[in-house]
Structure 1
Amino acid sequence: MKLLKIAALACALVVPMTGTVAADASAFPVKNPVLTKNALYDSGPLAATTCTELPVEAWDRGKVQAYLDEVFRCLENTWEPQLKKAGLPYEPVKVRYVKRMPKKYCGSSTSDEESQAWYCDWDRTVSLQLGKSWLAYPDDLFLFNLASQMYAYHVMKLAGLYDAGEELRAGSKAENYEQSRRAYLQSDCLGAVFMQSVWPIKGRTTADWETVVRMAGGDEPGEEPWYGKRATIQSWMRAGFRTGDPGSCNTWAAPSSKVA
């Protein structure tokens, strides 16, 4: 069971990269058509809609939760018709706010970060622990993007991508890492696809979006490569935002060089 999470400011985002024919080969090709040829990819760009940000204030937990609830409402309104258009099932995500994540949640160990967001596929719930790092600066676009990314995991679950990814078997640690990165990078890209569908957001500029992209964290040297390098994350993020189309988020068919 791969529990999907965002802890602290470790958000991720993405865009296609260039490479030679040799570099573009996939070291560990994924053959499951549910992952590589999913109906979601052929559903076309998300319909343009409007999502109004509610006012927030630093340290006002109630307003921050109301802000996030409104973003999740926008996400439901946008993704429901898209999933149905693709002939995929739909059900709303559950959202809950907790003071402290338990040490064990949804079959996995959580982190000790003060701010955390997790998606559990067992009950299709996004759980958010709003700590100081998120409550101190709630008025940038980070929280909006956070909600978009977390909902992307729910989209992946409904589209069958989540379960198909879970069922993959890896012949080596390197292959296991790459499969993990493909899943995380897909959520980064799909989150950005939604962002494009509601762009422009009143009071926001492209600079606000680029700030979110620059904030994207990635695997650092010496760390286990579960999420992707920062440049890779930012690349997929920009791809999703540029097109607004889930078809640009097919990380499962991408060559290894683009999910490093």
Structure 2
Amino acid sequence: MKLLMLAALTGALMMPLAGTATAQAAAYPVKSSQLTANPLYNAGALPTTTCTEPSLEPNNRKQARAYLDAVIACLETTWERHLTNAGITYRPVKVQHMDRIPKKWCGYDIGKLNSQTWYCDRTETLVFQLGKDWLDEPDDLWLFTTAAAVYGYHVQKLVGIAKAYDKLPYDKKTELHEQQRRMNLQNECFAAAFTKSVWPIEGRNLSDWNKLVRLRQSDDPAEVREFGGRASVSYWLKRGFTTGDPGSCNTWAAPSSKVA
């Protein structure tokens, strides 16, 4: 089973299509204009480019790392152009590949999942650990969208969303977890918007995308709710892919029902 261990190192994590409801409709309204009205939302759709997927055989870690590097290069091309055109300072992300991520990498408590990826806000670095979960059946869009989603944390850092999120107050854990879901679901939407910006991808069709939407991880209701339920994940993926516009990824102004 493909599980997604994907997060950004921020203080809180340590411990528009028309008609989107405003934050006032949320159980825990987000009172930060840097989050709810970020300039990124008015920058328009991502530029249309191409992104060719390298060959990728099952359980070939070397090929998978090269694949991820190629996808990251596509992401850099797209987001650099988009942010620069919007007058936002761009910096490239750093990428590391490790057989095993150290337990305290970047201050995290790294778990034992055989496949995981993290973003270190402090050093602006992505790290990937590839195991059987992600390498057994690599013919879907899982690695592609996983790279695009974790890259979203870098985008959030560059546009000031991560900093504003760090400063966001909360009174109880349920409010914190909703804030975490807003952060993570926004990156799912960013990943979908990027995928749309390079679509069609050679050798892919909409059945590949629809399969991916079904694959993406949702929270286990019995565990801490940090990523969102299946309906919320599906909603933001479909939203981003429909528009190709990061402006449709304003999870911070969405009602609680859309980030549940």
Q: Tell me if TM exceeds 0.5.
A: yes
User: What is the alpha-carbon distance in structure 2 between the residues aligned to residue 181 and residue 148 of structure 1?
Assistant: 17
Deviation, structure 1 residue 113: 0.2
User: What is the alpha-carbon distance in structure 1 between the residues aligned to residue 58 and residue 217 of structure 2?
Assistant: 23
| TM-score normalised to structure 2 length | 0.91
Alignment of 1:76-87 (within 5 A): 76-87=76-87
User: What is the alpha-carbon distance in structure 2 between the residues aligned to residue 33 and residue 129 of structure 1?
Assistant: 35
User: What is the alpha-carbon distance in structure 2 between the residues aligned to residue 104 and residue 205 of structure 1?
Assistant: 40
User: What is the alpha-carbon distance in structure 1 between the residues aligned to residue 189 and residue 99 of structure 2?
Assistant: 29
Deviation, structure 1 residue 250: 0.4
2:115 paired residue number: 115
Deviation, structure 1 residue 8: 4.8
1:43 paired residue number: 43
Q: Secondary structure at the match of 1:143?
A: helix
Instruction: For CA contacts below 8 A with separation 6 or more, give which structure has more relative contact order.
Output: 1
Q: Is the 8 A contact 1:11 1:216 kept in 2?
A: no
Q: Is the 8 A contact 1:11 1:146 kept in 2?
A: no
Q: Unaligned regions of 5+ residues in structure 1, if any? A: 1-6
Q: Is the 8 A contact 1:39 1:87 kept in 2?
A: no
Q: Which of residues 3, 19, 24 is equivalent to 1:9?
A: 3
User: What is the alpha-carbon distance in structure 1 between the residues aligned to residue 66 and residue 230 of structure 2?
Assistant: 30
1:65 paired residue number: 65
What does the per-residue CA deviation read over 1:113-152, in whole Å, with 9 as the maximum and x for residues that have no partner?
A: 0001111101011100011111222222111111111111
1:186 paired residue number: 186
2:91 paired residue number: 91
1:139 paired residue number: 139
Q: Is the 8 A contact 2:5 2:116 kept in 1?
A: no
Q: Is the 8 A contact 1:101 1:129 kept in 2?
A: yes
User: What is the alpha-carbon distance in structure 2 between the residues aligned to residue 10 and residue 117 of structure 1?
Assistant: 8
Q: Is the 8 A contact 1:8 1:116 kept in 2?
A: no
Q: Secondary structure at the match of 2:128?
A: strand
Deviation, structure 1 residue 221: 2.2
1:226 paired residue number: 226
RMSD between aligned alpha carbons? 2.2
Q: Secondary structure at the match of 1:252?
A: helix
Q: Is the 8 A contact 1:182 1:252 kept in 2?
A: yes
Q: Is the 8 A contact 1:8 1:113 kept in 2?
A: no
Q: Unaligned regions of 5+ residues in structure 2, if any? A: 7-15
| Equivalent residue pairs, number | 250
AA aligned opposite 1:223: E
User: What is the alpha-carbon distance in structure 2 between the residues aligned to residue 62 and residue 29 of structure 1?
Assistant: 45
Aligned sequence identity (%): 50
User: What is the alpha-carbon distance in structure 2 between the residues aligned to residue 134 and residue 109 of structure 1?
Assistant: 21
Q: Secondary structure at the match of 2:251?
A: coil
Deviation, structure 1 residue 9: 2.3
What does the per-residue CA deviation read over 1:42-62, in whole Å, with 9 as the maximum and x for residues that have no partner?
A: 000011111111111112222
User: What is the alpha-carbon distance in structure 1 between the residues aligned to residue 220 and residue 70 of structure 2?
Assistant: 34
* Higher mean C-alpha deviation, range 248-257 or range 53-62: 53-62
User: What is the alpha-carbon distance in structure 2 between the residues aligned to residue 112 and residue 145 of structure 1?
Assistant: 22
Q: Is the 8 A contact 1:115 1:133 kept in 2?
A: yes
Alignment of 1:107-256 (within 5 A): 107-256=107-256
